[in-house]
């Protein structure tokens, strides 16, 4: 571990970067923040208030290459020339979650990752645990900087949503409980278009776990099941599976209409009809979160009450309006094909599907059965929609390209009939026309609500 006074460079001045810088400053390090883009006013204000030196619009190599340690934004790929130059010069480059972990003082980490479901699972897990342990905080990829939170509350316990990009930059980071919701192809442009590389990144969540720790995973996911079987000699943590397809001796599973969890001969049961967030994927998210709660010895009644009172997360299957019998769903967080698959699977009504954005090498063929069955029109809002049009052009008669949500929603209302659903579930990233998926979802909701 570096001693106070060492020179720390933070690359990227977003939520994680500024949080890392604030923690470094508080611990007595010399800190320099560099962002190649302009820094948002909110973060610039935080840097100025903490008297942290920064630059924007450029990377000054002389100020970066002499760092004792570099903490990089998860948005910067490892293969970026600057990162490669740092590594070639023997400079360690880590992620913000690694940096935050260094300064925990007795608190523990519950880390949740997966291609899809990690935000809902992390939010629900925190929702349950908070009912019994008030000093449990939610942070990570979900929006709040882990490092910034540790700077203020180093003795707290943390539920962290962690991405593959964050896991790529860990060395000592060790969650007491890790959760892997699923693995499907995503972000392959960051992994040399290799699914195996992406899988390896996700599996880093168990890298430093010991026999005292727990690894909760979806036993129905063939990719995860294969990885667990192939790594039985490597994964030191205690394995706790969950499944919707098979009965388990230990873990979470279905028994008729009951969700059942067995751990150390302790049993939790709950009627699935009382789980308010709908769909098979949300049943699995609930299994994972409830299993964490069982490991943490939360009272069974408290677990049930927390689940029954959970309304979900913004931008993930968010039913937010209904006009003239037409339901509107904001699923802007569906930035890959698998997330949209879960969305279409869970909707029971005919769908006008709003799709498109930045294609990350998507293969839409997995959606074909659901599109044939449920989708009556596809409205494309991406910059390049040709792959969507080519895939579904012979299946859905109404496919249209539009450039604004105003035009998109107006056309959706022309096609929609009472009992239909208009759903934004892009299956793509948002950076073609929006700041992020939250911005995309908020703009969609604003336009829909203007219909009133």
Query: What's residue 429's pLDDT?
Result: 86
Together in a domain, 35 and 156: no
pLDDT surpasses 80 at 58: yes
End position of a domain, from candidates 71, 94, 117: 94
End position of a domain, from candidates 288, 308, 328: 308
Together in a domain, 80 and 104: no
Query: What's residue 254's pLDDT?
Result: 97
The predicted model scores a pTM of: 0.82
In a domain, 63, yes or no: yes
Q: List pLDDT tens digits, range 231-250.
A: 998 999 999 999 999 999 99
In a domain, 1, yes or no: no
Together in a domain, 295 and 409: no
Mean pLDDT, residues 119-127 taken together: 95
Together in a domain, 87 and 103: no
Together in a domain, 209 and 350: no
CATH code, 364: 3.90.190.20
Mean pLDDT, residues 311-340 taken together: 89
Please choose, from the candidates 89, 179, 63, the residue with its C-alpha nearest in 3D space to the C-alpha of residue 128: 179
In a domain, 221, yes or no: yes
In a domain, 2, yes or no: no
Together in a domain, 109 and 87: no
pLDDT surpasses 80 at 10: yes
Neighbours of 436 (CB within 10 A): 15
CB 328 within 8 A of CB 321: yes
pLDDT surpasses 90 at 32: yes
Mean pLDDT, residues 288-294 taken together: 98
Average confidence score pLDDT of the chain: 94
Query: What's residue 41's pLDDT?
Result: 94
* Distance from C-alpha of 96 to C-alpha of 28, rounded to nearest angstrom: 17
Query: What's residue 229's pLDDT?
Result: 95
Mean pLDDT, residues 397-406 taken together: 94
Query: What's residue 451's pLDDT?
Result: 85
Query: What's residue 114's pLDDT?
Result: 96
Together in a domain, 180 and 52: no
- 411 contacts: CB under 8 Å, gap ≥ 6: 379, 400, 402
Assign 279 a pLDDT band (cuts: 50, 70, 90).
Answer: confident
Q: What is the tally of structural domains in the chain?
A: 3
Assign 452 a pLDDT band (cuts: 50, 70, 90).
Answer: low
Together in a domain, 444 and 300: no
Together in a domain, 127 and 249: yes
Please state, for a pLDDT cut of 70, what percent of the chain lies above it: 99
- 16 contacts: CB under 8 Å, gap ≥ 6: 73, 74, 95, 96, 145, 146, 147, 166
pLDDT surpasses 70 at 221: yes
Together in a domain, 116 and 84: no
Together in a domain, 90 and 103: no
Q: Helices 280-295 and 337-346: crossing angle, nearest 10°?
A: 100
CATH code, 241: 3.40.1190.10
Give the domain extent around 333: 318-449
Residue 141 vs residues 64, 128, 238, 366, 390: alpha-carbon distances, Å = 25, 19, 25, 27, 34
Residues in the chain: 452
Q: List pLDDT tens digits, range 256-269.
A: 999 999 999 999 99
End position of a domain, from candidates 308, 340, 364: 308
Q: List pLDDT tens digits, range 348-377.
A: 899 999 999 988 788 999 999 999 999 999
Together in a domain, 280 and 249: yes
Assign 137 a pLDDT band (cuts: 50, 70, 90).
Answer: very high
Assign 287 a pLDDT band (cuts: 50, 70, 90).
Answer: very high
């Amino acid at each position: 571990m570096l001693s106070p006074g060492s020179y720390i460079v933070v690359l990227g001045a977003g939520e994680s970067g500024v949080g890392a810088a604030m923690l470094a400053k508080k611990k007595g390090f010399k800190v320099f923040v560099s962002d190649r883009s302009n820094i948002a006013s909110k973060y610039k204000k935080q840097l100025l208030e903490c008297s942290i030196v920064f630059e924007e619009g450029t990377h000054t190599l002389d100020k970066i290459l002499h760092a004792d340690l570099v903490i990089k934004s998860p948005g910067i790929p490892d293969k970026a020339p600057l990162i490669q130059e740092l590594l070639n010069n023997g400079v360690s480059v880590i992620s913000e979650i690694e940096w935050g972990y260094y300064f925990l003082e007795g608190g523990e980490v519950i880390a949740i990752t997966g291609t899809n479901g990690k935000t809902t699972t992390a939010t629900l897990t925190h929702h349950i645990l908070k009912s019994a342990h008030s000093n449990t905080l939610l942070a990570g990829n979900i929006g709040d900087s882990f490092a910034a939170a540790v700077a203020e509350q180093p003795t707290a316990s943390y539920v962290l949503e962690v991405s593959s990009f964050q896991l790529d930059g860990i060395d000592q980071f060790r969650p007491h409980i890790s959760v892997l919701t699923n693995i499907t192809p995503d972000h392959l442009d960051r992994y040399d278009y290799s699914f195996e590389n992406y899988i390896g990144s996700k599996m880093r969540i168990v890298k430093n776990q010991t026999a005292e720790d727990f690894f909760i995973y979806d036993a129905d996911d063939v990719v995860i099941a294969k990885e667990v079987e192939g790594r039985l000699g490597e994964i030191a943590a205690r394995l706790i599976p969950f499944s919707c397809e098979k009965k388990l001796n230990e873990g979470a599973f279905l028994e008729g209409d009951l969700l059942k969890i067995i751990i150390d001969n302790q049993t939790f049961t709950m009627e699935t009809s009382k789980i308010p967030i709908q769909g098979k994927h949300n049943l699995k998210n609930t299994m994972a979160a409830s299993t964490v709660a069982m490991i943490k010895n939360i009272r069974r009644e408290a677990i049930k009450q927390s689940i029954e009172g959970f309304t979900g997360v913004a931008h993930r299957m968010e039913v937010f309006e209904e006009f003239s019998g037409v339901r509107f769903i904001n699923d802007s967080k569906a930035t890959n094909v698998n997330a949209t698959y879960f969305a279409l699977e869970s909707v029971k009504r005919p769908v006008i599907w709003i799709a498109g954005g930045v294609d990350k090498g998507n293969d839409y063929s997995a959606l074909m059965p659901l599109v044939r069955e449920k989708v009556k029109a596809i409205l494309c809002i991406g910059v390049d929609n040709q792959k969507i049009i080519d895939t579904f052009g012979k299946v859905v008669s109404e496919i249209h390209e539009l450039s604004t949500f105003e035009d998109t929603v107006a056309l959706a209302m022309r096609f929609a009939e009472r009992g239909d659903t208009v759903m934004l579930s892009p299956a793509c990233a948002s950076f073609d026309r929006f700041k992020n998926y939250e911005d995309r979802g908020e703009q969609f909701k604003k336009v829909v609500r203007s219909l009133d």
